[in-house]
Amino acid sequence: MSQLIDGKQISKQIKDELKEEVQRLGALGRTACLAVVQVGNDPASSVYVNNKKKACEYIGIGSRSYELPEETTEDELVSLVEELNRDDEVNGILVQLPLPAHIDEDRIIRTISPDKDVDGFHPVSVGRLWIGEKGFLSCTPAGIIQLLKRSGIDICGKECVVIGRSNIVGKPMAALLLRENGTVTVAHSRTENLQDVTKRADILIVAIGKKKFITSEYVKEGAVVIDVGMHRDENNHLCGDVDFNDVEPHTSAITPVPGGVGPMTIAMLMNNCVETIRT
């Protein structure tokens, strides 16, 4: 029987732990506030932003919301971020991505102070991660490490294969698995003989962005499979990058979609917000 890794339950557990910690820190006069910035009104982004604000409320973190029109210029957005950098009442700044095409995302990410970079996207945060210094961790990969640890899955010495090399998931995922003493391979769209590579994995992290791409032919018997994908299938149901029904019988543990990795991203964002008020 494969273990179903319940991201909803684990994220709830983390949020409840954070809620208690925030109460304790509040009694010492330390409070956190997250500024959430959205440009335009992409419906998917609006859902994510609302969920982030609700999570803040649940845990007891203040939140401030900046909803800017689609036509906002890059310079206007830079000015707002600089203002939030200077604002002592704001501990964390989150600019929801993607931004409209006329705005350079890299410039905006670099403008956020590394001390308030709760997404962990600033080059300083990325550098700290790779050299093993304390800093903000990218939320989705950090959430996956928590899923593994809290499900009793050992990473040390294991063959870990990450499919996908994005700055938000694949690359920081590789760094975090390495930090946990995994043996890490990063595969991607140009990888030759992908099945040979993925079949080596004790732990397979799939962030390939293609609906139900990973079938049982890609998976070693007894592997742990973590699915970062989020798509709609032919029946309009949510599904991942992994063909769950085909792969699940061959795994020792697997995440579902929805209810696997998804809920962990917000839990880890909340953890980064609380981190700003830990000493």
Give the footprint of ligand GUN on this chain (CB under 6 A).
94-97, 119, 139, 265
Annotated active-site residue 8? The verdict is no
User: Which residue in the list 119, 202, 227, 241 is annotated as catalytic?
Assistant: 119
**Cβ distance to ligand GUN smaller for residue 36 or 184:** 36
Nearest approach, Cβ of 19 to ligand GUN (angstroms)? 21
Cβ atoms within 10 Å, residue 135: 20
- Are 238 and 232 spatial neighbours (Cβ–Cβ below 8 Å)? yes
Residue 33 phi, psi (nearest 5): -140, 130
Q: Which residue is nearest to ligand GUN (CB)?
A: 97
| CA triple 157-263-153, angle to 5 deg | 20
Closest listed residue to residue 137, CA positions, set 184, 101, 179: 179
Check if 96 is active-site: yes
- The least CB distance from residue 58 to ligand GUN, in Å, is 18
For ligand GUN, the closer CB: 24 or 232: 232
Radius of gyration from C-alpha coordinates of the chain: 19
Nearer to ligand GUN, 11 or 96 (CB): 96
Give least dist CB 115 to ligand GUN, A: 17
Catalytic member of 52, 116, 158, 171: 52
Minimum distance from residue 246 beta carbon to ligand GUN (Å): 27
- CA–CA separation, 138 vs 101, rounded Å? 23
Considering beta carbons, is residue 30 or 64 the nearer one to ligand GUN?
Answer: 64
The residue annotated as part of the active site, out of 6, 38, 96, 227, is 96
DSSP string, 220-265: -TTEEEEE---EE-TTS-EE-SB-HHHHGGGEEEE--SSSSSHHHH
Extract the runs of DSSP E, i.e. beta strands, from the chain. 3-4, 33-39, 62-68, 92-95, 159-163, 183-187, 203-206, 223-227, 231-232, 238-239, 251-254
Distance between CA 219 and CA 193 in Å, rounded? 13
Closest approach of ligand GUN to the CB of residue 266, in Å: 9
Half-sphere exposure of 148 (CA within 13 A, CB side): 26
Give the nearer residue to ligand GUN in terms of CB position, either 77 or 224.
77
Residue 52 annotated to the active site: yes
Choice between 48 and 58, CB closer to ligand GUN: 48
Phi, psi of 204 (to 5 degrees): -115, 120
Least separation in angstroms between CB 140 and ligand GUN: 6
Annotated catalytic residues are 52, 96, 119
